[in-house]
Amino acid sequence: MTVFALRPYQAEAVDAVTDFMYRSEQNPVIVLPTGAGKTIVVAELVKRYLSWWPETRVLVLAHVKELVRQNAEKLLAYWPELWPHVGIHSAGLRRRDRFEKVIFASVQSVWKKASHLGRFDLILVDEAHRIPVEGEGMYRRLIADARAINPRLRVIGLTATPYRLGVGYVYGPDYVLNDVAYEAPVGDLIRDGYLCRLRSMAGSKEARADIQGVHIRQGDYVAAELDEALSDARVVNAAMDEVLTQCRDRRHWILFCAGVRHAGMVSAALAARGIEAPVVHGGTPREERDRIIGDYYQGKLRAIVNINVLSEGFDAPHVDAICLLRPTQSTGLYYQQVGRGLRLHPDKADCLVLDFTENVLSHGPIDRLRVRRPKDPSENVGPLAKECRECHALVPIQARECPECGYELTVAEPATLVAKHAVRASEAPVLSDEAAVPPQWVDVEGWALHVHRKRNGDGPPTMRVEYRAGLQIFKEWIGVEHTGYARWKAGVWWRRVAPGVEMPETVEETVRVLGQRGQPPRRIKVAFNDKYPRVVDYDTSREVGAAAPDRAFRLVDQLYSSRDPLR
C-alpha cells in the first residue's frame, strides 16, 4: 500500500486555502508549478472537507479525460476508504456517474448538466486558467447553474499559469476566482529539489526564418501564416542539425511546432538523420495518437513532434530535452511547454531547453515571467534580456556581469529582440538565476514599523517594515489586513519575528504589539536583481554563528475544528 506524505509546500497550500476560505467569502486560486503535484493537493482538500463535514458534495473539474482519470486515481490511492462514494462523469472515459459524494468530471460532459448532477458545496477546477474572466463559456455556465442550486457554493482553482492570453491574470474582484491563496515559486521548488532544473544552451548557426510578415490575431500569431513562414527547408534542416548536436546525450525529446506542414518537415528531417519522431496534433486519430504517446511513455521513441497537444495534461517525467520551434505571444503556452521538463526522473540530472523562437527573451525566465494585461503600457517594454557588447551572449536584463566573458554590464546596455525564427538556439537563460546576482545576507541593526496607506485610499492598509543595515534601509510591505496569499505571507513572516504570539487583525495593532514583543531578524537575505531590492529570507536565530534557518516554512495551526469554511 502506498503511503503518501504531503511535501511542505503542498501542506502549506492546503492550510492557506483553508485559512482563506475561513476569513473570506471569495474564491481562491492555488498556483503550483507544473510537476509540483496538484493532484495530491486536490486529494487532500477533498479528504479534509469530507472528513470535517461528511455531507459536503464536491465536483472536481478538468478539461481532458487524462486529468479526470489522474485526479480520481490519486484520490482513491490517497484515501481508498472513499471509493464507494467516488464517481466519474466523462464521455471520454465512458462513465456517467451522478449521485456520488465526489464527482470527477470533464467540463465538456457536464457543463449543461448542473441540475442533472444535483447540489454541490464545493467545486475544484484543475487548470483553472481556462475559466473565462467574462462572457459565458462552459465553466462559467456550469458554475452559474450550480450556484443557482446552492447560492453558498465555493470554488477553488488550481493552476500553474494564472493568466490568459489577451486578458492577463484570471483572478480579480469581479471574476469567478478572486485572489491567490497560495503560490509556490518554481525557482524555490527547483532549489529545494522538488522539481528538475532547466538549462538553456546556445547554438552555433546564424540562419534565420523571417516571421515579421506574420500577423497577430486575438493576441497570438495567425497559425496558418506562422506555419507557412516556418516551413522553410533550409531553416528546418539547419535547426535539426543543431538539435542533434545539442541533444546527442539526451534520451527523450519533445519538439513544439507551428502547424501540420512545419511539424511534418521537422519529423521528416529527423527521420533522415536516423531519429524516429512521429507527429501528433489535434487531427491525429485517437487510436494513433494514443499509440504514439504510449510508445513515447514506454521509451520506445526518442522524440515526439507535436502541435499544441503536449502542452497540458502530458506528464512524462523522463523528458530531458525540449525544443521550442514556434514563437508564441502567450505567456501561458510558453510556460506550459517549457514546464514539460520540470518533473524529476532518476535518469536525468536536468532538462535542456533549446529555444529557436525568442520565447525566453519575450516572456522572461519561467521563474520570473512578465504577464501582460490588455492595453498595459508594459506591453511595449523591451524583452527581459540584453546582449553583451563583448561576446554577444544574451543574458537577463538585470545581470550586472556577462556569465560568458565577464564583461561588466550596465543598465544602458541595449536590449535585443529579433522577430525571426532562429536556426541558432537562443542563449537567453530559461531560469533567472543562470546569470543573476545571487541574494546576499545582510546584518540587521534595527527596524522601523509604519502604517502605510495608498494615496488614493484604495485597498486595506499595509505595514511598511524598514530594516536598518548600516547606511542602507531595506523596505518590505506586510499585508496584515489583506486576504489570500498576501495574508498567508504575512502569517509566515509573523511566525518568524513574533513566535508564540497571536497575529493581530489590524495594522495599527500589529505595529503596537511588535513594538512591545517583536524582535527584528538578526539577518535578512536580499535579492538585488529586481528594480528594487527584495527581502527573500530571514534569519531569526539569536545564537552567534547560528546557521541560517530552513526556508521550507509551514503553517502549523490546526485550523477551525468547529467552523465550516465552506459557509
Domain-by-domain residue ranges, the chain?
8-184, 197-373+416-428, 440-539
- CATH architecture, range 197-373+416-428: 3-Layer(aba) Sandwich (3.40)
Q: Are 9 and 184 in contact (CB under 8 A)?
A: yes
What is the C-alpha separation between 397 and 417, in angstroms, rounded? 12
List the helix and strand counts (H, then E) for the chain: 15, 28
Higher pLDDT, 383 or 288: 288
Q: Which of 34-38, 175-179, 216-220, 464-468 has the lowest mean pLDDT?
A: 216-220
Instruction: Provide the strand spans (E) within 22-151.
Output: 28-31, 58-62, 86-90, 95-96, 102-106, 122-126
Q: Where are the alpha helices (DSSP H) in 498-552?
A: 507-517
Q: Which residues pair with 163 in a beta bridge?
A: 169
pLDDT level of residue 317 (50, 70, 90 thresholds):
very high
Q: Residue 318 pLDDT more than 50?
A: yes
Percent of the chain with pLDDT over 70: 80
Higher pLDDT, 187 or 530: 187
Percent of the chain with pLDDT over 90: 46
Mean pLDDT computed over 60-88: 92
Q: Residue 40 pLDDT more than 80?
A: yes
Mean pLDDT computed over 514-529: 84
Report which of 139, 107, 103, 128 is spatially closest to residue 118, judged by C-alpha positions.
103
What is the C-alpha separation between 385 and 359, in angstroms, rounded? 11
Q: Which of 91-100, 277-286, 379-388 has the lowest mean pLDDT?
A: 379-388
pLDDT level of residue 506 (50, 70, 90 thresholds):
very high
Mean pLDDT computed over 450-458: 79
Q: Are 262 and 252 in contact (CB under 8 A)?
A: no
Mean pLDDT computed over 15-21: 91
Higher pLDDT, 556 or 100: 100
Q: Are 431 and 199 in contact (CB under 8 A)?
A: yes
| pLDDT for the residue 371 | 65
| pLDDT for the residue 561 | 33
Residue 173: how many CB atoms within 10 A of its CB? 7
What is the C-alpha separation between 519 and 445, in angstroms, rounded? 11
| pLDDT for the residue 430 | 74
Q: Which range among 39-53, 130-144, 160-174 has the greatest average pLDDT?
A: 39-53
pLDDT level of residue 364 (50, 70, 90 thresholds):
confident
Q: Which of 200-209, 248-257, 309-318 has the lowest mean pLDDT?
A: 200-209
Mean pLDDT computed over 53-65: 93
β-pair type (321-324, 253-256)? parallel
Q: Are 103 and 134 in contact (CB under 8 A)?
A: no
For helices 223-230 and 260-272, angle between their N-to-C axes, nearest 10 degrees: 30
State whether CATH 3.40.50.300 applies to domain 8-184.
yes
pLDDT level of residue 407 (50, 70, 90 thresholds):
low
| pLDDT for the residue 386 | 54
Higher pLDDT, 151 or 211: 151
Q: Are 142 and 187 in contact (CB under 8 A)?
A: no
CA 475 to chain centre: 27
Q: Residue 2 pLDDT more than 80?
A: no
pLDDT level of residue 257 (50, 70, 90 thresholds):
very high
pLDDT level of residue 421 (50, 70, 90 thresholds):
low
What is the C-alpha separation between 309 and 425, in angstroms, rounded? 22
Task: Give the length of the chain.
Answer: 567
The Cα angle at residue 398 between residues 206 and 402, in degrees rounded to 5 = 50
Question: In the structure grid, which three cell numbers stand for residue 239, read together?
Answer: 535547426
Residue 389: how many CB atoms within 10 A of its CB? 13
CA 274 to chain centre: 35
* 197-373+416-428 shares the fold of 8-184: yes
Q: Residue 562 pLDDT more than 60?
A: no
CA 421 to chain centre: 26
Q: Residue 543 pLDDT more than 60?
A: no
Q: Which of 136-145, 352-361, 429-438, 457-466 has the lowest mean pLDDT?
A: 429-438
| pLDDT for the residue 125 | 97
pLDDT level of residue 404 (50, 70, 90 thresholds):
very low
| pLDDT for the residue 545 | 39
Q: Residue 322 pLDDT more than 70?
A: yes
| pLDDT for the residue 323 | 93
| pLDDT for the residue 544 | 40
Q: Which of 2-11, 248-257, 403-412 has the lowest mean pLDDT?
A: 403-412
Q: Residue 169 pLDDT more than 50?
A: yes
What does the mean pLDDT of the chain come to?
Answer: 82
Mean pLDDT computed over 294-306: 94
pLDDT level of residue 6 (50, 70, 90 thresholds):
very high
Q: How far apart are the first and last CA of the chain?
A: 35
Q: Are 542 and 5 in contact (CB under 8 A)?
A: no
pLDDT level of residue 392 (50, 70, 90 thresholds):
very low
What is the C-alpha separation between 377 and 375, in angstroms, rounded? 6
pLDDT level of residue 361 (50, 70, 90 thresholds):
confident
